[in-house]
Chain A
């Protein structure tokens, strides 16, 4: 031990086949999502709130119809084809939690990526995956998948909870009825696109508060402002507002599927997908170039 030896050569490394791969990066991002307790709690809350809201929606619909049935014959006559309108509204019951679900999913997606910048974790991530894009893509894929399962799952659960409530007034319907499965599955698709758009915003802004405000502005405030305040300024404004991500995307869930002056479910879905893909690509390119 006391004998001075020449510097030993680099130790032989036996790590055949080990190294970066997209599957492994996905696994890493999955570990990250599941090991921050607040993320798991927020997802559970989202599920409960979505199912709860659509239960309330079905209940208020049943109460309204029951109230109408008890009303005088003249009033019923006045309402005319009211029953047909309620039947269409009942079909929206499974998906109706999406309004609030998108708020929580958008916040979660922003937080997942922006907190990496906030805490400095992003530097560890990008030293481990220095090409950067695979890590960000993996994170997007995982949040999109979670949002899809959560959205479609909540809509399915809501369907089964809503049926007994609606059946008291004869408003119940089958999964096989026209458009029902489309609306349930697309609740997931819609939330997946919301997640990707929000994550792109979080990546670009690198700031949780700013990202959440921007996402909610884009999804809620902006469409309302356009529709209610400035639409009178020019004819093309309400026309163009149909192509905002949420206005286009919620056509995927709505009944009736085809309505005059509205995008079809497929068109709406494609428009929202275009927003998601465009923002995703921009965010990847910016994150790839930027210093962290």
Chain B
């Protein structure tokens, strides 16, 4: 379990992480999603004590990370695949880190096998591809068989087989009851891997909710309608909440009305419709929606209506206080 309270990090005038509070629960994969420079890596570095928070505190399994007597058994972290001396072999890198905790060479060999590094373990890390570097970073994280795992962009540079492997590994670790905290900018990857999502933008938490809720919460009902009389249908349905996009001469995308009411209106007017497809937002679209809301809010602070997701709403209001 990871608990951050009012965590902030400022570099001079630049605020990388701004008063962030969240809890990462055991037993599920928690995704940490945000655009580049949003503060994901800085937050993760503060969790393992590499960066000192300017304000606030973060604990892992109830204690600040540096206070643990056996930190590698508490938390395994992949923060940076390049955190390796390039002239040392993967095997010796793992052996040196294992030695700090008296972890056996057997465990070193186990994680090498587990991460598929066997054929290259005795080679210098300097010659590794990005994908092999990621596997080595994951091997380091698993070394202490820790209760909590933190992976920063783990699928970066991995081939499709590697991406699938990381996905299954993360899910498997969570199923064993461990805390898995995973950052990515690949929203499609989050959609299939994470159970819970924390979305960060410009150093602030925008959303913190189960992934299904985030997708659903952001989803304005959208329906694709194919008809020969799009204009007439449009006139029939027109009101303040409904918007129309003409995708093709006979294809309309209608937002803000459920499929049944569209069908009823068409029936009443005797308009023939021959496709009626409800569309669900992908996580990517939900994510764009979330970050767009934040940007819009900052430029028109007064008129913005309540945000649809409760967690987002709270942060948006605090965000307004700063820009005012």
Contacts and interface: CB of A to CB of B under 8 A. Distances in A.
A50 to B, nearest CB: 25
Contacts of B257: none
Interface string B95-106: 111111111000
Given A15-B70, A24-B102, A128-B71, A31 B177 contact: no
Contact of A28 (B82, B83, B100): B100
A8 B86 CA distance: 39
Contacts of B164: none
Contact of A8 (B77, B80, B95, B176): B176
A15 B72 CA distance: 12
A19 B100 CA distance: 8
A130 B48 contact: yes
Interface stretch (A55-63, A115-123, A177-185): A115-123
Interface residues of B, number: 46
Interface stretch (B49-57, B234-242, B301-309): B49-57
Contact of A38 (B28, B70, B87, B140): B87
A35 B88 contact: yes
For the complex, would chain B's binding face be called helix, strand, loop or mixed by DSSP majority? loop
Contacts of B97: 28, 124-125, 128
B278 interface: no
B66 A131 contact: yes
Interface in B44-97: 45, 48-52, 65-66, 68-73, 77, 79-80, 82-89, 92-93, 95-97
Contact of A124 (B52, B66, B140): B140
Contact of B96 (A7, A20, A35, A130): A35
Contacts of A15: 70, 73, 145
A19 B73 CA distance: 8
B131 interface: no
A26 to B, nearest CB: 9
Interface of B: 26-28, 45, 48-52, 65-66, 68-73, 77, 79-80, 82-89, 92-93, 95-103, 140, 145, 147, 175-178
